[in-house]
Structure 1
């Protein structure tokens, strides 16, 4: 059978319109894309069963969250594991509503949702439903990280079912738009939950300077977002002569006291996810993927790539739920690492980067920040963050940060920071001008900082000398954007392109109500934002 896909959930989708061939820009096949649609349709069916089922439990929510997370860009490329998840979803629905499949009722609970109904819907309906679906996919990633640490929220869990149910209903714009905004509301709650899970598990992040040099000897590179997997790897490698280096969104781990106490957590390797096929090509070490951000590995290094949790790629070694990382450790010892210390640099030539400026660290010196604003030492704050990607034009963010005036502060988060996080922008009143707040989910921390500043100055967030210049790539950026809109934050600059799934009418709504605008040039945007 000749499979063709339709997928437009990421920023790099073909022609800024949608991947429709046999392989998506991300590397997934049409067969995988079709199975991901089937999984989503099955989850919509499960949400219908959850609606009034008496025996919904923790396992139900975990399955729904894992199913959604699996469909995030660059998580799973494996037909086998997706089929297994579809079967599990069907089994759970049958458990909740026994005999449902044999019932002739038109209640809508006896079948999966056909995703073609969504992709072929009227464009504004498709746009709003896509915002809901892609938003909860991103939110599921954060809920999953928290769940791995033993933290959950019933209200957040229930909303996953509510949102999926809405995707499967024949509702108009007036009914769908409030659900879109509720994605933002519930994602804020979800990010707060994950923030609590991380800080209670690993301590409050503190500023740290992280070297980019890889020391001689065996080492492992760990990438993704899951700090729990990193902690387990650190425990299992302690005393074995194997050093650990973070990659991508794992960089903020160096700010957490309970993680950086391990002496063999040495530094950070490489830059953002889209450079991995080049950066991993010849390193004498294994790489462990814990969450999304996997690109199809090239044959030259595929035998050194390991996956765990929901990340899956055919023929790669997968570490199961027992989290026994012995095969990764053995591969590191076999490869041996570099014979001598090997210095690397960031994109701009810097040999170190800083992290750990979470809301705890920044608000810990709030008096200092407020005084700097009052004295005129700090004129403006910029939040320049989000996902990185390979599309041309993303050097905009490097140039924007380079051109920010010396009396401004740049807060950053997520992997978009690799475009400029090795720059030395100097200090203001003893504070670095460039402060890394953390992972993409730490947008919650940036929100807390903004709200605290607004309270200190007795104004609204939109009245602060604060501008948000964001980059996006995948679905976690969608739920974060919806959170910012839920909070009423206006005049966000977004790039490098606008989402293909946002219709002209929906875009007009966002422009008219929130002042969202595409990025232009660093010079022009700085001129407008500093007026």
Structure 2
């Protein structure tokens, strides 16, 4: 095989991509991403020693977060960016090593990831295909499975931590844990039980990280509000913003004021419509289109400039590729990249704004509104109404249907599942999974919409907070005694950290689909099933009957 990657739900054959990624990632790019992770492991080995010696390394947390984020599925396809980042990684690694030696810290025998050297792009390419680099370097299937589960959780955690950092909210303990966990994936003395414990600890830090990001977002932009989001268009040139980074979105809104250029959200950026701070911008029109995987058709019709602030890039059609820009950890060959902030100054979006002015207005693809903004603060404001509905029997059960959307036709299950749910049930959602059913007319229960959209995938934290609050209100000892079922769709690594976070909170009987992760070995999957009741989906009728029977028994 020329590559091996199984980090996303669409892994070829449910086993792994071995020639080219379903995402569009080439074998040589996959190898560079493997080497990026390998380099971060080496940095982390030395970073742990620095932590133990009380040596502070400026910028270390941020560098590791960015490096992890770049390797998330659909985030960065630009090989040149990886060549640069890997060289920066080795420079930083060797600077840490030199500092530790200067301070008299005993380094001992270091792993290859902390010692290898490359001096040119050709040497980087050669090293990236080494048998010591990449997923299959770990021969034991169960150890490999657990190591990758941890790494994928760390990738999701790093994405959320970077968003918080962009807003000035940081927790050094998160960075310290990421280093410890990355270094641990090189430690051959750790047993499967040790790695299971580290997996759960990753989930605990996932909760901490999502709480930090929630605080960053709400402190900066206010608590999301129930909002009717326009899905139509106006007759002005426009910029369409995808991804998750609200700081980028804010800076673009500021710089487009008074320019005659409208701003729309796409896919993962939809929740920006719910934040009070963004509602003051008259040129912020609403949301255009649907989930990330429909972007080829929708970007074509949008006509204007597209900006990716994070992942979820689909290799573009040539007809619109020249009007797509990236920033942050995202990248694609040929797309113009907006440079990072320098000395606290805003990013400079002037080039893409001027570009947008020269382009026609978006083509309308739908009309009307969709409703969202049901993050924890808003749901707490409705708490009395919700509790009364539960006590009266008007609401029989809540279904957490958070997570990701994707291309596979099997994901239509989630549309059919939502449509078939009894009318005395409520859907709690976050992430782009919502696009499978957020435009269905599912009605309400006593004025409470039957789909409560909390926001992005990182806003899944809201769903956990809501569950914990209901546990407190109903004076229950176990979160699993609540009338809540978990039927979650997953796609990439941010969904992995959400899953691990829920497990760390003690949530059991989570159903995950449309398939279980390919990176779970049979033995690791059995541990998750036996310990946490993890399951997968079957068919809509049987699954609803199973979930509702649990309600009757309760």
What is the aligned partner in structure 2 of residue 106 from structure 1? 109
- Given that 1:357 and 1:436 are in contact with CA atoms closer than 8 Å, whether structure 2 keeps it comes out as yes
Counterpart for residue 409 of structure 1: 426
- Separation of aligned partners in 2, 1:82 and 1:498: 30
Q: CA 1:87–1:4 in 2, change beyond 3 Å: closer, same or farther?
A: same
Contact 2:135 2:148 in 1 (8 A): no
Which residue of the partner structure matches residue 443 of structure 1?
460
Q: What are the equivalent positions in structure 2 for 1:262-341 lying under 5 Å apart?
A: 262-322=281-341, 323-338=347-362
State the Cα distance separating 1:321 from its structure 2 match.
Answer: 1.5
Deviation at 1:241, TM superposition (A): 0.9
Offset of residue 57 of structure 1: 3.2
Deviation at 1:516, TM superposition (A): 1.0
Q: Which residue of 1 aligns with 2:172?
A: 154
Q: Give the counterpart of 2:410 among 393, 404, 408.
A: 393
Rate the CA distance shift 1:180–1:274 in 2: closer, same or farther, 3 A.
same
1:508 and 1:368 mapped to 2: Cα distance? 40
- Report the secondary structure of 1:220's partner residue: strand
3-state secondary structure, aligned to 2:512 = strand
Instruction: Return the match for 1:433 from 428, 441, 450.
Output: 450
> Aligned residues, how many?
521
- Which residues in structure 2 correspond to 1:447-486 (within 5 Å)? 447-459=464-476, 460-486=478-504
State TM-score, norm by structure 2: 0.91
Counterpart pick for 2:10 among 6, 9, 12: 12
What is residue 200 of structure 1 aligned with on the other side? 219
How far is the alpha carbon of 1:120 from its aligned partner?
Answer: 4.1
Q: Deviations over 1:36-86 (max 9, x none)?
A: 111111101001111122433340110011011111111111111111111
> Deviation at 1:351?
3.2
1:527 maps to 2:545: yes
Per the alignment, do residues 104 and 319 of structure 1 end up closer, same or farther by CA in structure 2, a change over 3 Å counting? closer
1:237-256 equivalent positions in 2, closer than 5 A: 237-256=256-275
SS at match of 1:423: coil
Q: Matched residue of 2:16: which SS?
A: coil
Corresponding residue of 2:120: none
User: Is 1:169 aligned to residue 187 of structure 2?
Assistant: yes
What is the CA-CA distance between 1:118 and the residue it aligns to? 4.7
Say which SS state the counterpart of residue 241 (structure 2) adopts.
strand
Q: Give 3-state SS (helix, strand or coil) of 1:249's partner.
A: helix
Q: Describe the superposition over 1:107-148 as per-residue Cα deviations: whole angstroms up to 9, x where unpaired.
A: 437425933475442111111001001110111100010010
SS at match of 1:12: coil
What is the alpha-carbon distance in structure 1 between the residues aligned to residue 392 and residue 8 of structure 2?
43
Name which of structure 1's ranges 112-121 and 88-97 shifts more when overlaid on structure 2: 112-121
Answer whether contact 1:289 1:308 (CA < 8 A) is retained: yes
Greater CA deviation, 397-406 or 314-323?
314-323
Where in structure 1 are there 5+ consecutive unaligned residues? none
Q: Helix, strand or coil for the counterpart of 1:174?
A: helix
Give me the whole-angstrom Cα distance separating, in 1, the residues matched to 2:446 and 2:494: 34
Please give the secondary structure, in 2, of the residue aligned with 1:52.
helix
2:437 aligned with 1:420: yes
Do residues 344 (structure 1) and 368 (structure 2) align? no
Q: Is the 8 A contact 2:111 2:186 kept in 1?
A: no
On the 8 A contact 1:351/1:422 being kept in 2, the answer is: no
1:47-66 mapped onto 2 (5 Å cutoff): 47-53=44-50, 54-66=54-66
CA gap of 1:366–1:333, structure 2 versus 1, over 3 A, is same
